[in-house]
Amino acid sequence: MLTLYLAVPCYNEEEVLKDTTTKLLSKYKQLITAGKITNNSRIVYIDDGSKDRTWEIIQNLYKVSPFISGLKMSRNRGHQNALYGGLITLKDYADAVISIDADLQDDINAIDEMIEKYEQGCDIVYGVRKKRENDTFFKRFTAEGFYKILKAMGGEIVFNHADFRLMSKRALDAFAEFKEVNLFLRGMVPMVGFKSGVVEYERLERAAGKSKYPLTKMLALAWQGITSLSIKPIRMIMWLGIIIFILSLAFGIYTLITFFCGATVSGWASTFISIWALGGLQLFAIGVIGEYLGKVYLEAKQRPRYVVEEFLNDK
């Protein structure tokens, strides 16, 4: 049987933790009764520096249930770092780890099929949304557009997959070899390789609390994904520069022809527009290159991606 750990990142989730625990414990009891997982399996809540009573609730749940464990980060480092820290910490305790958000919008009934895929030899099983009918048009359009843009940029990513996935111990051991500081897990995991599978599910409504990913954070995550996985934005700047250079040559030839033909050249409009266009392009190019240089700077420092303050686990 499989020793399964759930990695559940939490940030200010005091409103949903008790309901989430009830549902996850019920699912674990079903899996144990069916002989799918062992009694050593655990549900591990990863507190990413919450400012509410999240860690206090996790401590109380740990005391009353043998299936609950807790992992406390020393401070808030963001969802991706907290989840990565949880996965790497738990890989030595489990045969496989499933990551899932605390709001349980990802359907926990898909866990059964993930385990079946694991038993069939898959080291990585991706949870993929069937459709986005519950999302607003704006969110659906931007989310699907992001996946398409990232793929066009050369990023290897599973369409409509977030961070609901199963990874075997072998896959996690290989994943631990990835040393970059700028994390975008849904783009990094496919780089591990090994046999993988897909489980489709319907995304549910959030039971309580508020989403921890407003538009600003979603845009930041999208930019992180693009700049962490691809250098095509820099190449696009190079080609844009070449195109503008060719156009400037053509415009110069046109100016000379009109001059020798005696045509009146106003000058002001074309000069003004070209200065602003080229100036804006240069600032944009410097910004994109600076983003990459900043990432190189952070990687060179080799700061820890996470620091575990406390780990509640009886194994």
Mean pLDDT, the chain, as a whole number? 79
Residue 129's SS3 state is: strand
Q: Who's near 65: CB < 8 A, 6+ residues apart?
A: 21, 25
In the chain, % helix, strand, coil (3-state, to 5) comes to 50, 15, 35
Give every strand in the sheet of 196-201, ordered side by side. Answer: 196-201, 124-129, 161-168, 96-99, 4-10, 42-47, 68-73, 308-312
Is 238 found in the same domain as 201? no
Which tokens hold the place of 34? 């069916």
Q: Is residue 254 situated within a structural domain?
A: yes
What is the domain range of residue 255? Answer: 232-301
Q: Are strands 4-10 and 42-47 parallel, antiparallel or unpaired?
A: parallel
d(C-alpha 11, C-alpha 65), whole Å: 21
d(C-alpha 201, C-alpha 199), whole Å: 7
Q: Is residue 137 situated within a structural domain?
A: yes
Residue 261's SS3 state is: coil
pLDDT of residue 80: 86
Q: Is-contact 290 166, C-beta < 8 A? A: no
Helix (H) or strand (E) holding 2: none
Is 296 found in the same domain as 156? no
Is 11 found in the same domain as 138? yes
| Look-up of token digits 């995991």 | 189
Is 292 found in the same domain as 201? no
Centre a 10 Å sphere on the Cβ of residue 76 and count the other Cβ atoms it contains.
15
| Look-up of token digits 């020393």 | 74
pLDDT in tens, 149-177: 666 666 677 777 778 999 999 999 998 88
Is 167 found in the same domain as 113? yes
pLDDT in tens, 57-102: 999 999 999 999 999 998 888 888 889 999 999 999 999 999 999 8
Is 291 found in the same domain as 184? no
